[in-house]
Chain A
Amino acid sequence: MQRAPWNRDRAQAIIDEHKHLDGAALPMLHALQHEFGHIAEEALPLIAHTLNLTRAEVHGIVTFYHDFRREPAGRHVLKLCRAEACQSRGGEALAAHAKARLKLDWHDTDAIGSVTLEPVFCLGLCACAPAAMLDGRVIGRLDRARLDNLLDEAGR
């Protein structure tokens, strides 16, 4: 996923686009992350000023939610479901395989910035478990062969 480099004016424009919404912080943060790939430190004072919050409050919001990244992710983000329904179909063994092949732990990005491995707790695909998501694309009935294909795809 190609993301734009940090641009203060663009960031402020995104923040302004969302400031009229009730409870604007989350829509704003989602939009910023969509544009830049993560929530840069430089964005926090802009949000704080616009929403009349302290910078500490904005920091608190950003760090509360698992979705918001503080660092850029790899070009691909592979999310593997760790929740119970996927566990019952061998999800843990698949996660161990992915970690071993990528030499990564959860939340890590490989050295060449090609893939970030993340846990997810339920994609609602529990009747076709184990499930995964690669760059927003949903994958069910995951097995070792399909996972290897995804890892090949993500490694590029």
Chain B
Amino acid sequence: MSLRLYVPRDAGALAVGADEVATALSVAAQRRNVAVEIVRNGSHGLFWLEPLVEVVTPGGRIAYGPATVADADSLLEAALNNAGPHALRLGPTAEIPFLKRQTRLTFARCGLTDPLSLADYRAHGGYKGLEKALAKTQAAIIEDVTQSGLRGRGGAGFPTGIKWKTVADAAAPQKYIVCNADEGDSGTFADRMIMEGDPFVLIEGMTIAGIAVGATKGFIYIRSEYPHAVATILAAIGIARREHLLGTGVAGSAYDFDIEIRVGAGAYVCGEETALLDSLEGKRGMVRAKPPLPAHHGLFARPTVVNNVISLASVPTILSHGADAYREFGMGRSRGTMPIQLAGNVKYGGLFETAFGPTLGELVDEIGGGTASGRPVRAVQVGGPLGAYFPRALFDTPFDYEAFAARDGLIGHGGIVVFDDTVDMAKQARFAMEFCAIESCGKCTPCRIGSTRGTEVIDKILRDEARDANLALLTDLCATLKFGSLCALGGFTPYPVMSAVNHFPEDFGPRPSLAAAE
């Protein structure tokens, strides 16, 4: 048996040299004249250890990392020595605490399998969900999704089953499943990881959705910043079509379902579902007023399910293991698991899938290990650029939709960006306004113009110009944005701005340099 190694093909691993490491390992093997099979898997999501090289042994996979090209010879030597000692040896992959502590339902296969091997996918439980779904009525599939308690993982947290039922109940000659893969929030990469690391789970989830609501066509709208995800999904769709898992008579059933890819063009607002629909239709990505809901009047005015990648990718596990098994995880009205993404200035950055409920402090300090810089954690932004900044004083907040909302925050798509004590929170507040100004679709005046005025007002505060009056003006402007915008871009930009003002007022005081100059 030849030696089998795993080196990820995930963009996060490629960005830190995984391709170069894989090539160096293969060259080293040729030089020694030993047969080595290098499988390019998805990432386990332990990004501080990437590139993570795994060696297959009879006792399981042994991990080494983070590997560099210079380590290739010695790594191969260790691998040939029954996955023996090496400075980078981490022991069995499954025993790495960051991985062992997780509850991997949606990401069960990510990192384990070759993403484009359908045989590997099936060997690890793939297409069991579709098989179960095909044995049920459409209404029973939707009932399972409803009973599982699954809520939209894109950020809004709307119950997925209710959305599906609305579309199923709408009569129309054509319905659509639209997968929102426009993962634009800084600090998030769960969609990217699953599309690059386990693309068939998304295809399976969309197929089940299509069957349940009576849609024959699906679109995946992927952002252009994710070229590797686009390539992997396209390849997976090709394989699924060849194997009759997409197209006419899916998996030998009476249902038809196929998927097309559309690539975004760098507009953050297209992550908002109605702007996404306009963009898919080939228009400017302008936000639509709701109602009508996309479930009634969506893509090309047809009833449309718009779901995030992770929502759809969670459906196969719900169908295969049962709604109750999924529902058992979590707390309150937040059921199941959430892939939490630890990012930014964090020691152990990566994807941590867990049942809802751990506190922010546990996630940042225990799981994440504090900052990468070694300095104290001062603030964390949860839920992307429209999410609130939390100070340490609120680290007892459990990771749950309602608990975060109760503290004027949101969990969004599950991204946590960690900042150390060198962060200037006034600058972060200014950036939130600037970002809103750059990305506003322009439909709502408070968002289009208020964001630019907001940047100017923060500049005045920083120059200590009528500071109190301008802080009052900023607060008022944020209220206008919040209540006068159709979508979350204008509506939620006040979260990072006002959380910075309220939790870190000292950063909005007179600048020390100005005070000294006076």
| Residue positions of A touching B, CB distance < 8 A | 21-27, 29-30, 51, 60-61, 64-68, 83-89, 120-129, 131, 133, 136, 138-141
Contact = CB atoms under 8 A, between A and B. Distances in A.
A64 B281 CA distance: 14
Contacts of A140: 12, 15-16
B344 A67 contact: no
Given A121-B438, A127-B48, 16 more contacts: A22-B260, A22-B300, A25-B282, A26-B264, A84-B428, A87-B431, A121-B186, A122-B225, A123-B11, A124-B226, A125-B189, A126-B187, A127-B45, A138-B11, A140-B12, A140-B15
B54 interface: no
A60 to B, nearest CB: 5
A143 to B, nearest CB: 12
B349 A29 contact: no
B284 A60 contact: yes
B279 interface: yes
Q: Which of A24, A120, A133, A141: most chain B Cβ within 10 A?
A: A141
Nearest to A141: B16
B423 interface: yes
Contact of B342 (A24, A121, A127, A141): A127
Given A122-B225, A124-B226, A129 B344 contact: yes
Given A60-B284, A127-B349, A26 B265 contact: yes
B417 interface: yes
A84 B431 CA distance: 9
15 contacts: A25-B282, A26-B262, A30-B265, A66-B265, A66-B266, A66-B267, A84-B385, A85-B344, A85-B415, A121-B438, A122-B184, A123-B226, A126-B187, A127-B48, A128-B48
A64 B284 contact: yes
Interface string B160-195: 000000000000000000000001111111011000
Nearest to B286: A64
Contacts of B8: none
A126 B344 contact: yes
A61 B11 contact: no
B107 interface: no
A90 to B, nearest CB: 9
A68 B438 CA distance: 15
A29 B282 CA distance: 10
A23 B280 contact: yes
A86 B225 CA distance: 15
Given A25-B283, A88-B420, A120-B225, A65 B15 contact: no
B334 interface: no
B11 A122 contact: no
B199 interface: no
Size band of the interface chain B makes with A: 35 or more
B12 A84 contact: no
A64 B12 contact: no
A122 B415 CA distance: 12
B268 interface: yes
Interface string B274-304: 0000011111110000000000000010000
Contacts of B441: 64
A64 B188 contact: no
Given A84-B385, A127-B12, A128-B50, A67 B266 contact: yes
A120 B514 CA distance: 33
Given A121-B186, A122-B185, A140-B15, A88 B419 contact: yes
A151 B439 CA distance: 28
A84 B381 contact: yes
A36 to B, nearest CB: 16
Contact of B418 (A25, A66, A88, A138): A88
Interface string B122-149: 0000000000000000000000000000
Contacts of A64: 267, 284-285, 441
A97 to B, nearest CB: 17
Contacts of B431: 84, 87
A121 B268 contact: yes
Given A64-B284, A126-B341, A86 B262 contact: no
B341 A127 contact: yes
Contact of B265 (A24, A65, A83, A89): A65
A73 to B, nearest CB: 14
Contact of A124 (B11, B219, B268, B279): B11
B26 to A, nearest CB: 20
Nearest to B389: A84
Nearest to B191: A124
Interface string B428-469: 100100010011010000000000000000000000000000
A123 B225 contact: yes
A125 B266 contact: no
Nearest to B279: A26
Contact of B343 (A65, A120, A127): A127
A25 B265 CA distance: 11
B186 A126 contact: yes
B350 interface: yes
Nearest to A25: B282
Contacts of B188: 122, 124, 126
